[in-house]
Amino acid sequence: MADTTRITVTLTAELVAALKELTDDVSGYVAEAATRELRRRLVEADLQRHQEKHGVFRSGAGGCPFPNRRAHPCRRVGGQVEPVTERTADAAAGPR
């Protein structure tokens, strides 16, 4: 078993209720979500470093480096293809 540390996290009552509808193991669910987010950030950082060193990926007719475009849509930015992330989606939405 992995070494664990107990922490306290404050969530809204609505979020807790929604999580309890999804799973009986809220702690495990949150741990899995945190793991996925950390992995996503590491992959994004690796991709950024690679593109800074070797240039932006270009492939296929659409230029999207991801084979399943529905799972990871791309958008054109200044003539280059850029994956749409939370950060770029928020920026495209403009001020709130």
More confident residue, 61 or 48: 48
Question: What's residue 89's pLDDT?
Answer: 47
The domain of 35 spans: 11-55
The residue-averaged pLDDT of 34-62 equals 83
Q: Is residue 56 very low, low, confident or very high in pLDDT (cuts 50, 70, 90)?
A: confident
Antiparallel, parallel or unpaired: β 74-77 and 80-83: antiparallel
Q: Per the structure, how many domains does the chain have?
A: 2
The residue-averaged pLDDT of 52-60 equals 73
Instruction: Name the residue type at position 47.
Output: L
The residue-averaged pLDDT of 39-63 equals 80
Task: Output the CA–CA distances (angstroms, integers) from residue 62 to 3, 33, 74, 76, in the order listed.
Answer: 45, 31, 9, 9
Mean pLDDT, the chain, as a whole number? 77
More confident residue, 85 or 88: 85
Answer yes or no: is 1 within a domain. no
Answer yes or no: is 79 within a domain. yes
Answer yes or no: is 63 within a domain. yes
Beta bridge partners of 59: none
